[in-house]
Structure 1
Amino acid sequence: MADEPEVEQMHASPPAARIVRPYALTAGRTRTAVDLPLEATLRLDTSATRRAWADDVQGKIIGVLDTRSVAEVSALVQRPIGVVRVLLGDLVQQGFVHVQATLTETSTDDERFDLLERTLRGLRAL
């Protein structure tokens, strides 16, 4: 049917996948000045909630961070633990995130059990 107008393509081709290497997210850094074990519980500073965050990895970390462990945050933002540790270290140094004490010799059994449960949840989510 030569008299019919050409039908334009309804769907544009999907954009090419953008692959960002983990080291690009941390400017090549693999370590942070802040010691952040997998089980360390983090909490947001009130200054972090008053700031507008971009839709990047740091912004996503801030969005999920509310008394979660490093492992849980890594799982929730779906980024490698090393990358998340470096970015969290930056946020700690900037004062937007605080590291809560992990277990000590005086920790109760309930505190130890809670820490194990949270760590397991985070690891399973990875």
Structure 2
Amino acid sequence: MNADGEERSHWFDDEAGPVVRPYAMTRGRTHHAAQHRLDLIALVVAETQGDDPDTDGSLSPEHVDIVELCRDAPQSVAELAAELDLPVGVVRVLVGDLVDNEFVHVNRPVPPAELPDESVLRDVINGLRAL
């Protein structure tokens, strides 16, 4: 209750206004089929060709914000979550929607186990210098 004796909603912040719950942004979904590819360091890249997300009525403002951020430069899932001040799980669902609609694609970094061993690279460099 507030000072006037009226009951206040706990979903309202005087400075921020009404709070939108994360599940409302994802329409109640907590994961996406492509979520297995969306770890924190996966890079989200905007497609250079295709429809303008602003004209697609099925996209939320958060979807459009993600595409706009990725147009400037590829962004990791963690960077998007930080920039938009959204939980990572919500960003994963939204990015999955954008992948399905072909507004963005995801580049996964090479896992450390698949990178060549440093000693092999040194041997190659030494071999090239010997030529």
Common fold by TM > 0.5 = yes
- 1:106 maps onto 2:115 in alignment: yes
Provide TM-score, normalisation by structure 2. Answer: 0.63
Which of 58, 66, 70 is matched with 1:61 structurally? 66
- 1:86 maps onto 2:98 in alignment: no
Aligned position for 2:3: none
The alignment partner of 2:49 has SS state of helix
**1:77-126 deviation line (CA, Å, top 9, x unaligned):** 111111111000000111111111312303687xxxxxxxxxxxxxxxxx
Q: 1:52 to 1:97 in 2, by over 3 A?
A: closer
Provide TM-score, normalisation by structure 1. Answer: 0.65
- 1:37 maps onto 2:44 in alignment: no
Give how far 1:61 is off.
Answer: 1.1
**1:32-87 deviation line (CA, Å, top 9, x unaligned):** 11121011011110135x51527711111112123110000111111111111100
Q: Structure 2 stretches of 5 or more lacking a match?
A: 1-13, 119-131
The alignment partner of 2:44 has SS state of strand
Over aligned residues, Cα RMSD in angstroms? 2.6
- 1:18 maps onto 2:18 in alignment: yes
Kept in 1, the 8 Å contact 2:53–2:67? The answer is no
Q: 1:28 to 1:108 in 2, by over 3 A?
A: farther
Cα distance in structure 1, aligned partners of 2:40 and 2:61: 22
Q: 1:24 to 1:55 in 2, by over 3 A?
A: closer
4+ residue stretches of structure 1 with deviation over 6 A? none
Percent of counterpart pairs with the same letter?
39
- 1:77 maps onto 2:84 in alignment: yes
Q: Which amino acid aligns with 1:23?
A: Y
The alignment partner of 1:92 has SS state of helix
